[in-house]
Homo-oligomer: A and B are copies of this chain.
Amino acid sequence: MPDLREKGPGGLNLLTATELCRKLEGKQTTSVAIVQDCLARIAAREPDIRSWAYLDPETALRQARACDAEPRRSRLHGIPIGIKDIFDTYDMPTAYGSTIYKDHQPTADTAVVGMMRRAGMVILGKCRTTEFASPVPVGVRNPHDFTRSPGVSSSGSAAAVADYMIPLALGSQTGGSTILPAAFCGVVGYKASLTGLDRGGVRHLRPNLDTMGLFARSVADIAALRSVLCGVDPAPPVAEMRGIRIGICRTMNWKEARPESVDALESAARSLAAAGAKVHDVEMPAVFTDINQSFNVISGAEALRAMAAEARDHFPTLNQWIRDSLTAAKRVDRAQFDKAQFHVVQCQRAMAEVFAGCDAIITPSTAGEAVADVVSVSNSAFNRIWTLLHVPCVTIPAFTGPNGMPVGLQVVGPVGGDDRIIALSQGIADALK
């Protein structure tokens, strides 16, 4: 895997948010200098990477100058972040990846974006998303290999962080849209518990699945950003693996895992055991059979409601995947929807029991390294289950595949245990180094 740091101009943009904070706190740099280095990198690399939906350098620099002129508001004061273009910004257009909303200018920020502004962060620009966060690629490039998928749907957020254009990005996950692109692009991705990061003001697509996600180049950066968004101190990183109970979960989709993901999981299990963790296998409870079908029923029915206006007024402009999903969902009746919902409740209960016996689950982030296919719908088999269960997930880019592409390890925790699973992931990332 070539070192992306050597491509294009490199300066402050090569550092993590945590490293930049230290420099800002020590008055060794300014927000303007950081933003300038990010903009230089973007100017050099964006023609290839294509990860931005909207970026106005002057808007970004104006924010940075304002940050430098005032006292620090939070740990992340002055740090730039990219926002997936599925989230509203009052000062930048928001198109949700759709031609229907081309040049659409929302009147208000999605709540988390407002929280970032209040914390003194610089909203650098909008990162490209697929159309309404559907799994159909839109031409964002994987910085490690342009012939391979960057993952969907938070493709722009993942690629921009991986390519050192920005230290942090906001994304979302309704199927696999955070963990998948983070793993394919080789960065840290965190999908919150369904309600683990505020969803106020989100333009919903599937309210029971639409989850916030964060991208960074270190787990510590994820902890810092989550802390700013929740207003609480982060849990201290777990430094000692001894006694930590780790469940290895191959899931019912194990047959879809390619050798690099199989090797990553086994290697991680060995390393964690060597570091003192109590590692044991965890079987997916029997009730999980057919969970993919329940996912499809819920996802389709919720999309039909959330996209009712677009489906009514703009159906022909929607991509084929969205049209097919909406058409299929029309055949789902209320009884099927209720049955699927109840099935999920049973699975959530069964998973809570699994977590009574372990502190975290480790499982593949993806079927394997980024596929050499930049047009097809990608495989979110190792992500959809966790989205549906509402549990927090972190992908750590600790491994490499046969083609030199990044391979992630996914750490999963119980619903609501976000702080703990991030703290634990810091320890796991260290143990895998």
- Residues on A lying within 8 angstroms of B by beta carbon are 66, 70-71, 73-74, 90, 107-111, 114, 117-119, 193-195, 197-202, 204, 207-208, 210, 229-232, 302, 305-306, 308-309, 338, 341-342, 344-345, 348, 390, 415-416
Q: Is B195's CB under 8 angstroms from A305's CB?
A: no
Q: List the number of copies, as a whole number.
A: 2
- In angstroms, Cα B71 to Cα A342, docked, is 9
- Looking at the assembled complex, report how far the CB atom of A195 sits from the nearest CB atom of chain B, in whole angstroms: 4
**Given that A107-B305, A232-B416 are known contacts, is A195 also in contact with B198, CB under 8 Å in the complex?**
yes
List, in ascending order, chain B residues with CB within 8 A of A194's CB. 198, 231
Q: Is A232's CB under 8 angstroms from B415's CB?
A: yes
Pick the contact of A108 from B118, B193, B302, B415 — CB < 8 Å? Answer: B302
- Looking at the assembled complex, report how far the CB atom of A388 sits from the nearest CB atom of chain B, in whole angstroms: 12
**Given that A195-B230, A305-B90, A342-B73 are known contacts, is A202 also in contact with B204, CB under 8 Å in the complex?**
no
Q: Is A416's CB under 8 angstroms from B231's CB?
A: yes
- Looking at the assembled complex, report how far the CB atom of A325 sits from the nearest CB atom of chain B, in whole angstroms: 16
Q: Is A207's CB under 8 angstroms from B416's CB?
A: no
**Given that A201-B204, A201-B207 are known contacts, is A231 also in contact with B348, CB under 8 Å in the complex?**
yes
- In angstroms, Cα B208 to Cα A202, docked, is 14
- In angstroms, Cα B302 to Cα A333, docked, is 40
List, in ascending order, chain B residues with CB within 8 A of A204's CB. 108, 111, 200-201
Q: Is B231's CB under 8 angstroms from A66's CB?
A: no
List, in ascending order, chain B residues with CB within 8 A of A197's CB. 195
List, in ascending order, chain B residues with CB within 8 A of A308's CB. 107
**Given that A232-B415, A416-B232 are known contacts, is A345 also in contact with B108, CB under 8 Å in the complex?**
no
